[in-house]
Structure formats: structure tokens, C-alpha cells
Structure 1
Amino acid sequence: MRKNTRRDRTLLIIGNGVLGGNVLDLLSWVGFDGQIVVGGRNRTAVEERVNLARLAAYNQGTNPRLAAACVDLDDVDRTAETVSRLRPDIIFNTASVQTYWRISLLPRELYQMLDRPGVGPWLPMHLSPAHRLMTAVHRSGHDSVVVNAAYPDAVNPALQTCGLAPAVGIGNVMNVVPAVRSAAALHLGVDVERVHVRLVAHHYVSNRLPAAGDTGGADYDLRIYVDGTDVTDSADTPALFRLLPTDVRRTRGRAGMYVTASSAFAVLNGLTSATPVTVHAPGPLGLVGGYPVRLSEHGIELDLASACSQERAVAVNEQGQVFDGIERIEVNGRVVFTDLATRTMSDVLGHHCPEFKVEDCHDWARELKAKYSAFEARTGVTGS
């Protein structure tokens, strides 16, 4: 990231949904040292949300520098012009064709059918807006650090195959780390302030652990530290994991998205810090899955445990993505889904896509959206 004076720093938030709004509020209340611009298709709706954040910030005693911008990612050239004009130091992307939680509005039996193969088969929905944004950023000629919230475990490595990867993601692995840390403190009988962890895990693991208390067979790499000393070998990890859906369970789904916002807040703050900050994040540097990372205004690097090489960490996440419905992401941009994912989407939605090329993601996203909308109409369910 280029150096600048903090008052000149600009953050552009793409998307005016729940997550973008939560992050906007957190940054406004704490006092982001710079300007925050929120971009979305509906200029009036964006302006109203910005005013809401501004007025709420006044109650917290802060006076954030906020602005609204009309940004339609479908218009790549216009988006590139906006990026060139605003020259944001950081762009935080929250846009998806369809939010991940929409299928949770279905009756339980239908939801479980579509949820069984994982998030992977919905990849085009998240990849398409991110692809357009990254194309626009490259066309703008401006060197922004892009932070992607849309399924970064798979979107970022898919975009890496065509040289368009965002710098890092948010959520997912970082969403589960506080719960693992809390469970470790309970399990070991120590204060949580003394406990730190390094976890390498794919989205599938971070999503399953709080629900089931296990990884479902997916691999992971976890190291637990108390007062800086590695105590992993003295912990009963399966017993520790079983505490997640019991003793440290939390509100999940759309209502629980605030923890994802807190992850984004930590990553964005890390990227504006003069000194390195260690957090967890998915999709750093175009890698598949989630890792501990070190962030600062000078850049991003992995912060793996000494016993875990980068090769081991990548292998863990590549194995984990299979549980999430993606067989592999090839270096030539070919994404191959698992048989279960392909069969489920074909049988339930009539959407048959065993594989696709990254450059074709927009067509596949349109088809998948149309198929899912038709499915909702047939089942009498109205999404929001």
C-alpha cells in the first residue's frame, strides 16, 4: 500500500447491504482517520444509509467524513472512472449476485438439500461482481488494495488465475477463531486473554465447527498458545471443538453477521496500521482458504505457526474446499465442482454446471440466479 497522510486516506465500500452497513457503522463510531465513500447502484438508498451512519456517529461523539457514490459493477468502464476519480487507498467489496443466506429462507428440508454440498456451487454468484470490480480497478490505473468479502476462500484464488486477485478477504476463518480461542480457554481453565491461536482452515471448517462441533472430516491446522507457549499437544482438540455449539454458541446466519463485520473491521484497521497486526483472513495473496496473516499499511504476509509450512497450509485448504463443493481450481482458470455439488444443483434447480472457466462466470451467475428464482417461484418461497 502506498504511504500517505492518514487524513488523505480514502476507503471505498462497495455494496449497501447488511455487511457493508455494519462495517460502515463500526468505522464511523470508532473514528476512521480518513474518508469513507459508500458505493451502490441506488444513489438515494446509499445516501440515506450514509446519513444514518453519520447521525448515529454523532451520538458516539464522532464526526466521520462520509460520502455516497453511484457504483454499478455491471458497468466496468464507469466503475473504473469512479475508482480513478476517488483514488481509494482501500476498496472493500461486499457485492454478490445473491447473498449466501438467501437459501436459508427456504423450508428446512429444501434448505438442507441445497446446503449439503457446501457454498462452492454458488461460486459464480460471488465471483461475477468481484471479477468486474477487479477488472475496473486494473483499468483505472490506480493501485488500490482490494479486500473481498464475497466467498474469498474461492473467489480470490479463482481470480488469481487471471491476475485479478484481491489482496485479502475477511470473515470465514476469522469468524471461528474467537470461538476456538474461547473454547480453548474453557478447556484449559485459563483466562481468554492468555490464549491465542493460529488456525489454517477453509470456509467449510469455519462454517461447520460452530454448528456441529467437528470439521466433518475436513483437514485443518491448529496451534494453541498460552502466554506465548505452544500447548497444543496438551489439549483435547475434539473435546475443545465440541464446546463451540454448546458453551460458546452464538447467534448465526444473517442476524449473526456482526461477527463478520468485526472481522472486516480488524482487517481494514490492520491495513491502515503503521505497525504489523496479526489477524486471520481468507484468500490472502490469492491463496485458497483461510490463514493467520500479518497486515500493515506496508503489505500482507502469512503468519503461519513454525510447524506449518506454506505448502502444508495450502494443502489443508485445498482438501477443505472439496468439502465445500469445489473439486479444484486449476491454474488455467478452470473451476471443477464435486459430483455431489453438480448433482444437487442439477436435480434440485435444473442448473447443470460441472465446471466453468473464470471468464465465463457472468453467464453462469445469470443462469444460476434465474434457475434459483424459478425454484423459489415453484416452491412458493419469496427471498429478500
Structure 2
Amino acid sequence: MSKPLPMSDTLLIVSLGELGTNVLEAVGRSGLFERIVVASRSADKALGRINNALIGCGIDGHFPHFEALGFDFNDAACVGALRALRPDVIFSAPTLKPWWQVGGLDGVKESLAASVPFGGYVSLQLAPMAMFRERYAEAGIAARWIAASFPDVINPSLARSGPGPACGIGNVREPIAKIQASVGRKRGIAPARVSVRLVAQHAFEYGVFHPSPPADLPPYLLSVTVDGEDLTPLGHSALREPFPFPYDLHFNRVTASAALDGMRALISPEPMRTHLPGVLGLVGGYPVLVEGGDIRLDLAPGWTEAEAIAANEASLPWDGIERIEADGTIVFTAETVKALHALTGTAIESAHPRNAAEQARLILAALD
């Protein structure tokens, strides 16, 4: 039986949407942190969510020290608060409009909004993330920053234009349990014995979590072994098995589990292998080895770093993105440019941390 991880000192959760709330509930029960600070523009909202978590966590036998904090990272005064808190880990997932609210519009506007690929809305996450990045950098703190808003694309954009997050969570990590369960069932063994290494980008999981997965998935690399035996063909087959999946707010519970997995790796005193998106300024997600908070790629034998990077970059068009340039500019595909023009009446060809706020304003006005 493995030893429990020692508790780290302080986790700061910045922005309290649906994902942040699910992470709060999950991490409070995990025993990973002695102190959990929830920062929201509304301290009353933070306190209410904390009290809900406190009761549930207490019933489960966990009583971390919770704190609510009124915190607006659009205000430069928050820099002092960051310095005073001295968090060990920061989790942030801000958005100006969550994916589940892009819809329910009237008539033609609904059709125009639905025609914009997922990546076309990147400024709705990039704008607040870029603002928080500036406050984080100015504070000069050593906290490991987990940025969870579309990390496969936003994290490399941030890292290539200034200080970037340590990692994201979810996406590449989430399909692995499907592979393990399927291969374990077919071989009559415990799924935990199935070792998986996967290189994949955000759009990939929407193909494999599907009642009828397409044969043509976004580019990926996969290695599946059990006690050294190569079972990768079974893994490819598992990815294409029917898998009805509710893309609703319950999805945040899955992502919260992935967040705990990433946090364990970042604070573990021992090296840990896992999968993380948005690391090292790279597009997409990778198998990684995390040691002392430092992250490095942990690719399968025979894979080169260039091949892994190329696979994820080739997957970007599935999200409506052509490429991410060396300065962090996110260049849209022609399809996305056309759809954004139809929605906003404005030619929008790319996004960057410096112009994301204005682009987001145009998109939000069109969706209003």
C-alpha cells in the first residue's frame, strides 16, 4: 500500500465558476492541502461555496482550513494579496463566457454561433488568463500555476509571449481511463495494470468520448503495455468503441479528478508519471515525469520529441486553429475566420494575449 502524500501548505483557487467549484469540492476531500483559499470577485459567493464544501468534506472526515477572499485580478491591488498569501499552488480557470453558455440564442444568431469552431472562442479564455498572468508575474511568487482554461492552446500562447503556467489539466489525461478499462476487460486483468502513454490535443477526447467514435480521429500517438507486453492495437481499438458521454456540467467532475492528479504530481516528494496538457510551451498534451515540481516529457520508447510535437500541432485544425506562432499568436483556419466574420461582422484572423480582450468584447457583443 502506497504512503499518503504529505500535505502541502496552501492552494489558491482563482475564479469560482463551475470547474473551480468542482475542484474545490474534490481537493477539500483529498488531503493534499492544509489551507485552501478561494478567491472570487464576490467574497460572499466564495464563502457560500466554501461552506458547502466544508460540510461535505467534514462528513467525509476532512477539515482543511478554508478561507474566502474578495479578489479581482483586473485590479492591480491584487498583486499585494498574491504576495501576502504566498500560495504553493495556484489553480485558475477563468472565462468571460463558459462553453456551456455559448448557445441558446435566437434563430440566425444561434446558427452563426454554432458555426464557430471551439478554437474561435479562444479569446474568451485568453483575455482573463493574460490579465492574471500579468498579476502573477508582477507578484514574483514561486507558486506552481495550473492554468485550466483551454490549456492545450492558451498555455503555449502565454508561455511564448511571457511567463507561462506550469501546466494545465484534463484533456489528454481523460481518455486514458477508457483505454485501461477496455484493455483490462479484454485481458481479464485489473485496469490499473494497463500502462498507457498518449500524446493528444484537446479535440481528441471529443472523438473518443462519443456514442459512435469516428474512424478518423485527430492525430495522436499511443503506447499500451501490460508487464512489458505491447498491447497498443487493443488501445487503438478501445478508443473507437462506442462511449456515450454527457457533455454537460457533470463533465466538470471528470476534469476535477484530472486536476487532483496534476496537483498530486506537482507537490509529490517522489517522481510521478502522469499526463498533462499545456506544458513547456508546447501545444497539446503529453506523458510527463514530474519531479520536485519540474516537468519533463516521458515519451514511449521509439517516439521522438519532434514526432510528439508534430502530432499535436497537426491536431489544431480540428479546433479551428491553423497554428500557434513563436510569439504566441494563435492563427485561425480559414473556416474559423469566415465563421467569426459572419458572427461579428469583423475580420478576425488570429488572437494574442495583447489583443484578446478587444476580440472577446466583439464576440460577446455578437452573442448578446
Question: Shared fold by TM > 0.5?
Answer: yes
Query: Structure 1, residues 227-266: CA drift from partner, whole Å, max 9, x if none?
Result: 243222x4372x3222142xxx343332222110100011
Q: Shift in Å at residue 112 of structure 1? A: 7.6
| AA partner of residue 136 (structure 2) | V
Greater helix proportion: 1
Structure 1 residues 185 and 299: CA distance shift in structure 2, 3 A = same
1:23 maps to which residue?
Answer: 23
Structure 2 gap segments, 5+ residues each? none
**Residues 322-333 of structure 1: pairs in structure 2 closer than 5 A:** 322-333=317-328
Query: Structure 1, residues 326-381: CA drift from partner, whole Å, max 9, x if none?
Result: 111111232210011111222244353112333111111122112112xxxxxxxx
Q: Distance in 2 between matches of 1:108 and 1:178?
A: 39
1:159 maps to which residue?
Answer: 158
Confirm or deny: 8 A CA contact 2:316 2:322 kept in the other structure: yes
Structure 1 residues 240 and 99: CA distance shift in structure 2, 3 A = same
Q: Shift in Å at residue 56 of structure 1? A: 1.5
Structure 1 residues 186 and 171: CA distance shift in structure 2, 3 A = same
Confirm or deny: 8 A CA contact 2:127 2:357 kept in the other structure: yes
Whether 1:229 and 2:229 are equivalent positions in the alignment is yes
| AA partner of residue 192 (structure 2) | E
Normalising by structure 1, we get a TM-score of 0.88
Q: Distance in 2 between matches of 1:201 and 1:328?
A: 15
Q: Shift in Å at residue 104 of structure 1? A: 5.0
Whether 1:43 and 2:49 are equivalent positions in the alignment is no
Q: Distance in 2 between matches of 1:149 and 1:187?
A: 34
2:93 maps to which residue?
Answer: 94
Confirm or deny: 8 A CA contact 1:131 1:164 kept in the other structure: no
Query: Structure 1, residues 116-150: CA drift from partner, whole Å, max 9, x if none?
Result: 65321111111111111111111012111100110
Structure 1 gap segments, 5+ residues each? 374-384
Confirm or deny: 8 A CA contact 1:168 1:286 kept in the other structure: no
The 3-state SS of whatever aligns with 2:362 is helix
| AA partner of residue 13 (structure 1) | I
Q: Shift in Å at residue 175 of structure 1? A: 1.8
Confirm or deny: 8 A CA contact 2:324 2:330 kept in the other structure: yes
Greater Cα shift, 289-298 or 86-95: 289-298
**Residues 171-250 of structure 1: pairs in structure 2 closer than 5 A:** 171-211=170-210, 212-214=212-214, 216-232=216-232, 234-235=233-234, 237=236, 239-245=237-243, 249-250=244-245
Query: Structure 1, residues 28-84: CA drift from partner, whole Å, max 9, x if none?
Result: 123233211011111111111111111221111121111011121222x22221111
Give the paired residue count: 363
2:70 maps to which residue?
Answer: 70
Confirm or deny: 8 A CA contact 1:6 1:34 kept in the other structure: no
Q: Distance in 1 between matches of 2:74 and 2:300?
A: 41
Q: Distance in 2 between matches of 1:244 and 1:268?
A: 31
Confirm or deny: 8 A CA contact 1:200 1:292 kept in the other structure: yes
Query: Structure 1, residues 146-190: CA drift from partner, whole Å, max 9, x if none?
Result: 001100000001111212211100011112221222233345554
The 3-state SS of whatever aligns with 2:314 is helix
Structure 1 residues 217 and 53: CA distance shift in structure 2, 3 A = closer
Alignment RMSD: 2.3
1:150 maps to which residue?
Answer: 149
| AA partner of residue 131 (structure 1) | A
The 3-state SS of whatever aligns with 1:48 is helix
Structure 1 residues 195 and 299: CA distance shift in structure 2, 3 A = same
Q: Shift in Å at residue 276 of structure 1? A: 1.6
Match of 1:336 among 313, 323, 331: 331
Normalising by structure 2, we get a TM-score of 0.91
Query: Structure 1, residues 281-313: CA drift from partner, whole Å, max 9, x if none?
Result: 110122110111122443211111112211111
Q: Distance in 2 between matches of 1:7 and 1:195?
A: 28
Confirm or deny: 8 A CA contact 2:274 2:289 kept in the other structure: yes
Structure 1 residues 109 and 174: CA distance shift in structure 2, 3 A = farther
1:269 maps to which residue?
Answer: 264
Question: Among the aligned pairs, what percent are the same residue?
Answer: 30
Confirm or deny: 8 A CA contact 2:96 2:124 kept in the other structure: yes
Q: Distance in 2 between matches of 1:268 and 1:159?
A: 20
